[in-house]
A and B are shown apart, each in its own frame.
Chain A
Amino acid sequence: MKPLSEQISDVIEREPVTVFMKGTPEMIMCGNSLRALQALHAAGAPITAVDVLPDPRIRQELSTISGWPTIPQVFVNGELVGGADITEELLESGALQQKLDEALGADRSPDVKTVALELH
């Protein structure tokens, strides 16, 4: 099994849009995770969700990688976009859609999926 930090980096690098959140899109456990998901959804983003709640080490390793202290955290093409406030602000200004268009093309399909990390 790969170390947790490596698994986290792999998801960030591999998936077009990753959101690290509390809960899953089916069972959202935090208002700010909801806000980030809604903003991404409104921008027509494909979403890969990772729940940080199963193990506190997920959040620790993630914050070490990103230098960002809070959850949620949104990444597009491997790059940190920000938390819920930034994601919402970028949606309102149109910059989020523009960023997604540039990164993924305009005819992206807004699929939502969840990736579970392997814990031991």
Chain B
Amino acid sequence: MKAEAIHELLEQAFPDATELGVEDRTGGGDHFQVTVASPAFDALPLLDQHRRVNDALAAHLADGSIHELRIKTKGSA
């Protein structure tokens, strides 16, 4: 799948994001590095921050169209 499609899903899930990046790590459309900075993460443990990102992309993780997902999350600070 395209990085833009993932970007769009993350935008919908994190409308308050102050930083949002998607990198296709291999150019093959299934290994992605995503970066999300959002005040929504401020009160959340790291595990739950990553859960929120996984949830936003759940359908594509489940059907294998995302084979690898690397996640970097940041709060608003």
Contact = CB atoms under 8 A, between A and B. Distances in A.
Contacts of B47: 80-82, 86
Contact of B69 (A70, A82, A90): A70
B46 A90 contact: yes
| Main SS at interface, chain B | helix
Contacts of A89: 46
A66 B10 CA distance: 22
Given A80-B47, A82-B46, A86-B47, A70 B54 contact: yes
B61 interface: yes
Nearest to A95: B46
Interface of A: 32, 67-70, 80-86, 89-90
